[in-house]
């Protein structure tokens, strides 16, 4: 940490997790690393009077640097990494299926802890279905405290990782034993979008007039596939962009998969890859998730191969830690549109083309699904009592 500007107001804080971050920022011995989730950049501006759907990515980066962050990185980088690991898992399972071997299908996405908690407590007999890939937040923490701490030549205990998340369930996720090493968490504190806004206000930072900052390197580079993780259907679309190109060994004619976009509670689509029909479904909101899970439990009549679930309506853009939206469809739509615009404006829109991800595999993780990748980037599921 470098900056103590926000410390004197500590006593005025309501009970939240910002005080721990203030402490770490004031500790000159601690390297403080921030990551910002995809959905936060299209919503946090609302806390400062900006229109819903204003993309304030650059201002968010600058504000975190002004607070005293040593590094500001992007969860989107880890979302690209998630696609590499989860996409490889999906390809492995599809190959087995196509060869007539027994395998666990459909693959369920595992990046939403609201959903993970739900299936662990409600469907303990089906825990072979979810991808073992950690969520982007979890992967980021593992990369930061292993690869990046080694690179800086510091003890992982001298690094403090702060997540900026749209989500309160992410706090519980960060506390999982599987996301710790010898008791030291990969992510030290999770702040919601609203908590971060409060921190910025307490530090008297004039957010609206901040210049745009750039994410630090190398955990700050990301593609359009990563940012759409923030909206319902986005994780599956990102995975399809990569899975298609890896299996077909050719460039996608069109990167947008319109069929998995939009606000229908349950979207079903069929994509033909290497001559095979791949059936996918996208659910948002846990009542829709339950519907699709009951269907799978009862014999998977639609022959689904991959299913994305997000617990919040609209996906993370409608998360419980975001500026209050009161279920207002216009606000959710504005945040969604802004997300797709960020994707469209990116030069690189497929996770497997992210040069920083390629370099990370070359330098450290070898290849998706390698032993070290499994050790650091994957997790496991167990039956849990209801949260
Ligand atoms: Fe969190 Fe909701 Fe996003 Fe799930 S959908 S990760 S619960 S914000």
> Is 228 found in the same domain as 272?
yes
Q: Which of 108, 115, 167 to mutate to test the pocket of ligand 1 (most atoms within 8 A of CB)?
A: 167
- Count how many domains the chain has: 2
| 59 lies in some domain | yes
Q: Say if 165 falls within a structural domain.
A: yes
Q: Give the residue, out of 310, 313, 320, with the most ligand 1 atoms within 8 A of its beta carbon, to mutate for a pocket test.
A: 310
177 falls within a domain = yes
Catalytic member of 110, 131, 135, 222: 131
Name the nearest CA neighbour of 219 among 346, 70, 322. 70
pLDDT tens profile 214-261: 999 999 999 999 999 999 999 999 999 999 999 999 999 999 999 999
Residues 151 and 58 reside in one and the same domain = yes
For residue 165, how far is its CA from the centre of ligand 1 (angstroms)? 9
Q: Please give the pLDDT value at position 15.
A: 53
Q: Please say if the pLDDT value at position 211 is more than 90.
A: yes
Q: Are residues 348 and 274 in the same domain?
A: yes
Distance 27 CA to ligand 1 centre (A): 31
Both 186 and 58 in one domain: the answer is yes
Final residue of a structural domain among 209, 240, 268: 209
Task: Check residue 385 and give its pLDDT.
Answer: 81
* Domain region containing 36: 7-76+136-209
Tens-place pLDDT, residues 115-159: 999 999 999 999 999 999 999 999 999 999 999 999 999 999 999
Collapsing DSSP states into helix, strand and coil, what is residue 276?
strand
Q: Which residue has the tokens 């830690």?
A: 321
338 and 189 in a common domain = no
CA–CA separation, 234 vs 261, rounded Å?
Answer: 8
Assess whether 330 and 230 both reside in one domain. Answer: yes
For the CA atoms of 299, 300, 306, 311, what is the dihedral angle to 10 degrees? -90
CATH of the domain at 310: 3.40.950.10
Q: Is 134 a catalytic residue?
A: no
Could you tell me if residue 46 is inside a domain? yes
Active site residue 316: yes
Boundary residue ending a domain (209, 238, 257): 209
Catalytic, 7? Answer: no
Continuous segment of H or E residues that includes residue 139:
helix 136-143
Could you identify the atom of ligand 1 that is nearest to the CA of residue 165? Answer: 8
Q: What is the pLDDT of residue 92?
A: 97
Give the Å distance between the CA of 169 and the centre of ligand 1.
7
| ipTM of predicted complex | 0.99
The answer to whether residue 218 sits within a structural domain is: no
For this structure, is 23 an active site residue?
no
- Whether 214 maps to a domain, the answer reads no
Both 248 and 348 in a single domain?
A: yes
Packing angle of the helix pair 136-143, 75-98 (nearest 10 deg): 110
Cα angle vertex 95, ends 301, 296, to 5°?
Answer: 20
Q: Is 353 exposed, middle or buried (0-12, 13-18, 19+ CB in 10 A)?
A: middle
**Does the residue 215 lie in any domain?**
no
Neighbour-count burial for 295-316, b at 16+ CB within 10 Å, e otherwise: bbeeeeebebbbbbbbbbbbbb
- Determine if ligand 1 sits within 6 Å of the CB of residue 236: no
Joined tokens for residue 226 = 């990563």
Kindly give the number of the ligand 1 atom that is closest to the alpha carbon of 166: 8
Query: Is 163 noted as a catalytic residue in this protein?
Result: no
Catalytic site residue from 112, 167, 312, 316: 316
Q: For a pLDDT cut of 90, what percent of the chain falls above it? A: 94
CATH number (domain holding residue 66) = 3.40.50.1780
CA distance 270 to 381: 28
Among candidate residues 184, 209, 234, the one where a domain is terminated: 209
Active site residue 89: yes
Q: Which atom of ligand 1 lies at the shortest distance from residue 310's CA?
A: 5
Mark whether 204 and 108 lie in a shared domain.
Answer: no
Instruction: Tell me, in angstroms, the distance from the centre of ligand 1 to residue 316's CA.
Output: 5
The pLDDT, as a whole number, for residue 8 is: 40
- 240 and 111, same structural domain? yes
**67 and 88 together in one domain:** no
Residues 6 or more apart whose Cβ sits within 8 Å of residue 24: 1, 30, 32, 160, 162, 188, 189
The pTM assigned to this predicted structure is 0.95
* Domain match, 129 and 140 both: no
Q: What is the pLDDT of residues 40-72, one digit of tens each?
A: 999 999 999 999 999 999 999 999 999 999 999
Distance separating alpha carbons of residues 105 and 285, to the nearest angstrom = 21
40, 169: one domain? yes
Would residue 12 count as lying in a domain?
A: yes
């Amino acid at each position: 940490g470098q900056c103590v500007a926000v410390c004197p107001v500590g006593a005025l804080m309501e009970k939240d997790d910002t005080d721990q971050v203030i402490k770490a920022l004031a500790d000159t011995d601690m390297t403080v690393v921030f990551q910002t989730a995809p959905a936060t950049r299209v919503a946090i501006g609302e806390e400062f009077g900006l229109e819903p759907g204003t993309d304030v990515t650059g201002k968010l980066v600058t504000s975190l640097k002004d607070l005293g962050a040593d590094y500001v990185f992007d969860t989107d980088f880890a979302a690209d990494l998630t696609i590499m690991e989860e996409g490889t898992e999906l390809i492995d399972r599809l190959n087995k299926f196509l060869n007539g071997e027994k395998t666990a299908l459909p693959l369920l996405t595992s990046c939403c802890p609201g959903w993970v908690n739900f299936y662990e407590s409600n469907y303990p007999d089906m825990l072979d279905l979810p991808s073992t890939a950690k969520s982007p937040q979890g992967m980021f923490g593992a990369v930061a405290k292993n690869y990046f701490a080694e690179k800086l030549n510091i003890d992982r205990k001298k690094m403090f990782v702060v997540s900026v998340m749209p989500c309160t369930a992410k706090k519980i996720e960060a506390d999982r034993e599987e996301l710790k090493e010898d008791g030291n968490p990969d992510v030290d504190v999770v702040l919601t979008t609203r908590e971060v806004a409060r921190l910025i206000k307490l530090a008297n930072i004039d957010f609206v007039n901040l210049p745009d900052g750039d994410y630090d390197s190398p955990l700050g580079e990301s593609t359009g596939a990563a940012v759409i993780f923030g909206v319902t259907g986005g994780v599956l679309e990102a995975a399809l962009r990569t899975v298609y190109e890896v299996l077909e060994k050719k460039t996608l004619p069109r990167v947008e998969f319109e069929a998995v976009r939009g606000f229908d509670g349950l979207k079903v689509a069929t994509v033909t890859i290497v001559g095979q029909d791949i059936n996918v479904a996208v659910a948002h909101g846990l009542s829709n998730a339950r519907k699709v899970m009951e269907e799978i439990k009862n014999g998977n009549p639609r022959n689904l191969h991959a299913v994305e679930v997000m617990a919040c309506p609209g996906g993370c853009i409608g998360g419980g830690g975001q500026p209050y939206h009161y279920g207002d469809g216009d606000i959710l739509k504005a945040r969604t549109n802004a997300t797709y615009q960020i994707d469209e404006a990116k030069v690189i829109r497929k996770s497997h083309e992210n040069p920083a991800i390629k370099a990370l595999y070359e330098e450290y993780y070898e290849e998706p699904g390698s032993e070290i990748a499994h050790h650091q980037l994957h997790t496991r599921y167990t039956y849990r009592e209801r949260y």
